[in-house]
Structure 1
């Protein structure tokens, strides 16, 4: 697959334009039909096979796409998610569908046992979070379909979005440097990224617990493409550790074995403050505190996660107080910050355009999730190499915001070509473009709609 190629008769701009319009129309129909098929009365499931409940950052991305075709559903998506917000402000990474039988998904509500935690909602949820991409999503939904109803929706969501920010920047500032720490790789969204290998090596694998459960992901996807059983045993151990403390965040430094400051989570935290400043202006609130917090978050990212030697951002393992050396797509995501200084922007562009990631105005291969030149690059295994539309979309948005329409156009065309060639898959082979994971994945469809709208 050559991600930069496009259709049309050679030498005929009219033919190429018609072919391009037809391709875009077909992609739009595919995206809409995928989202419609995955709609579940008040939210959208990521997929009907692998992920049958509501996921947090999935819903934010899905809302961005729904704004182009079903804006009422976009707001319903966000409202449903935030109805399950905890009293402390955390937005759980899964909201479980009570209509599904017990054991239909692992780890399900019976394993999380979140209802016994202080401040848990009435809905069955997990106890951890995902990147706070929701305020930017709400802003984009409003911007795409502004109306009195969208202003009312912003006013309704605003205090909940503020509470989410307060939770992450307050209770999760374990390192004391102004950044949120994640307590589980799942909170980053990039579950088995090589960025977590070193911190996870210190986590004891709970193999006895794993033997009492059956993984459901490998029933729907090739096990060679998914996190290993050892990964899952450690994931379970981390859930048990956090659950034992009833999901409290006080004293995490003394009792929890995985504490990492993630570039994506904290870039999203800063971007959310920028979005909240815009939302505040629309609803008549004060944008000033949001702008001030955004500036502090960007500076904290630079102070704590920037490595001038590599020219990119890295996670910080709070257990060792060291940056994790792996060079992953996580390091490029701070491009979404509009106030990222020119020095860091230039360095990130050089990193993105290097052979490690291959960003270009005309791309031969899609953006990978991990350094292509690394000896442990795996083109088939989940976040250890494959290309994902959500991280590509975030980088694309960052390129647009920092005045690089040439590179943004190359990345956009690469994303469109992936879906044109393989459909709305969960993720894609970073060399061939072959579809991997779920074949009808909602955020791929949703973000495709957003990319199409910028053409």
Structure 2
């Protein structure tokens, strides 16, 4: 399943055809102000999708990549949160659930601080945005400076990080917690099974599974899990999306979410430096978060970072790819970095041996399913992050092999949302935007002209 990346003209032609195909996905999914993940399954703007999309889009149009992030941040709330969906008012309500009328973010008194005149959800997704903004700027610094791109985004990104570190430290342990399985992005991970078991599902008659119109039920969350997702979101809405002073049923510290916050905090330092602001405060914050991540979530016996159920006061023993994502964090203790590399290549994830792409969940886990959403399939954005980590910690050969596998699987699957980690078979929807985006970014790296990664 690997594209051979030699200098032969035939290989270059293959790369160019993949590049053109990936570009077509992003151009087709562009709506004029932002990019949908998929016109059928996800017809609005999603938060961490747009960050990854901007990272790839910068190779086609830095100006459009800037617009992608600007449009998303136009939906930012007064408390700093970036909502996980910014809704397109031109899309019919029944095209996606939960739709704007469920979230009610603009209803009087429902959500103080929600943006006026823009319908959004009330929960969040992983904070990849500062990393994306820094990479977009570096792809065309002249245009970025002329438009004041970083000047306008920097205070918004600072407010976003402040929200996570000040309002979401429910465990009092220096880490940001998530309040819904959709927030860490790995919606249906087996890591959430235990904390979700405490949640009474919403009645099936109270919601409609629009996702099943365009997706195979065998690839999607079960009705029981979906009912619990709806209950959690509805309870948060009914309490005005307040973080403090509310009894939350689901509170989890997720290592991947916090690892991406650390990466983005370092990116904020780079942005601050480019603007002539204090950069060291961001680096110091990144180091504090890293110390908390290691102290609180590292498990030496498991060989990776584990999620922590704040409500129950204990670690969640499931081995998920979220526990490998801190490999992308600079400054990990040497022993932890080496152990993560061994775990990624070992029997639980099989990277480079039994699987071409890192699966989302333990290959030997009791809940492993190579087809079902986040319970085993491999995701392209996650493997993009891991490729950076492999390269950072000195395993360039492994990083090159993973990069080749991402390129091959992305092209051969029709830029699938996710794939079977053993066979590369497409799962979910195809022509998926962040898959095309990370393929473009890795291709630019192969060609040596793709800017800073």
Which of the residues 10, 25, 29 maps onto 1:34? 25
Match of 2:325 in 1: 333
Supply the distance in 2 between the matched residues of 1:230 and 1:406 (Cα, whole angstroms): 43
Match of 1:354 in 2: 346
Which of the residues 202, 207, 210 maps onto 1:213? 207
Supply the distance in 2 between the matched residues of 1:274 and 1:365 (Cα, whole angstroms): 30
1:452 and 2:448 aligned: no
Matches within 5 A, 1:173-212: 173-207=169-203, 210-212=204-206
User: Is residue 4–residue 363 contact of structure 1 (8 Å, CA) maintained in 2?
Assistant: no
User: Is residue 80–residue 162 contact of structure 2 (8 Å, CA) maintained in 1?
Assistant: yes
User: Is residue 94–residue 210 contact of structure 2 (8 Å, CA) maintained in 1?
Assistant: no
1:391-433, CA deviations, whole angstroms, 9 ceiling, x for partnerless residues?
0001111112222211111111111110232211111111111
- Alignment TM-score, normalising by the size of structure 1: 0.94
Secondary structure of the 1:338 match is coil
Which of the residues 134, 157, 164 maps onto 1:139? 134
Supply the distance in 2 between the matched residues of 1:26 and 1:108 (Cα, whole angstroms): 37
Matches within 5 A, 1:275-424: 275-360=267-352, 365-424=356-415
Matches within 5 A, 1:92-241: 92-115=83-106, 116-122=110-116, 123-150=118-145, 152-207=148-203, 210-241=204-235
Match of 1:10 in 2: none
Secondary structure of the 2:94 match is coil
Secondary structure of the 1:454 match is helix
Per-residue deviation, 1:5: 5.7
Per-residue deviation, 1:148: 4.5
1:367-395, CA deviations, whole angstroms, 9 ceiling, x for partnerless residues?
11111122321011010011110100011
User: Is residue 349–residue 355 contact of structure 2 (8 Å, CA) maintained in 1?
Assistant: no
Per-residue deviation, 1:62: 0.3
Distance 1:104 1:148, change over 3 A: closer
Aligned pair count reads: 441
1:90-123, CA deviations, whole angstroms, 9 ceiling, x for partnerless residues?
0000000011122221000100111221100021
Per-residue deviation, 1:144: 2.2
Supply the distance in 1 between the matched residues of 2:384 and 2:430 (Cα, whole angstroms): 19
Cα RMSD between the aligned structures? 1.4
Distance 1:28 1:150, change over 3 A: farther
Task: Structure 2 unaligned segments of length 5 or more: list them.
Answer: 447-453
Supply the distance in 2 between the matched residues of 1:19 and 1:148 (Cα, whole angstroms): 35
1:82 and 2:80 aligned: no
User: Is residue 29–residue 38 contact of structure 2 (8 Å, CA) maintained in 1?
Assistant: yes
Match of 1:6 in 2: 4
User: Is residue 68–residue 145 contact of structure 1 (8 Å, CA) maintained in 2?
Assistant: no
1:319-364, CA deviations, whole angstroms, 9 ceiling, x for partnerless residues?
111111111100010112112221211110011010211223x775
Task: Structure 1 unaligned segments of length 5 or more: list them.
Answer: 8-12
Q: Which stretch shifts more, 75-84 or 421-430?
A: 421-430
User: Is residue 363–residue 410 contact of structure 1 (8 Å, CA) maintained in 2?
Assistant: no
Supply the distance in 2 between the matched residues of 1:277 and 1:423 (Cα, whole angstroms): 37
Supply the distance in 1 between the matched residues of 2:364 and 2:183 (Cα, whole angstroms): 26
Supply the distance in 2 between the matched residues of 1:314 and 1:272 (Cα, whole angstroms): 21
Q: Which stretch shifts more, 413-422 or 127-136?
A: 413-422
Supply the distance in 1 between the matched residues of 2:325 and 2:412 (Cα, whole angstroms): 26
Distance 1:56 1:150, change over 3 A: farther
Per-residue deviation, 1:216: 0.7
Per-residue deviation, 1:149: 2.4
User: Is residue 363–residue 411 contact of structure 1 (8 Å, CA) maintained in 2?
Assistant: no
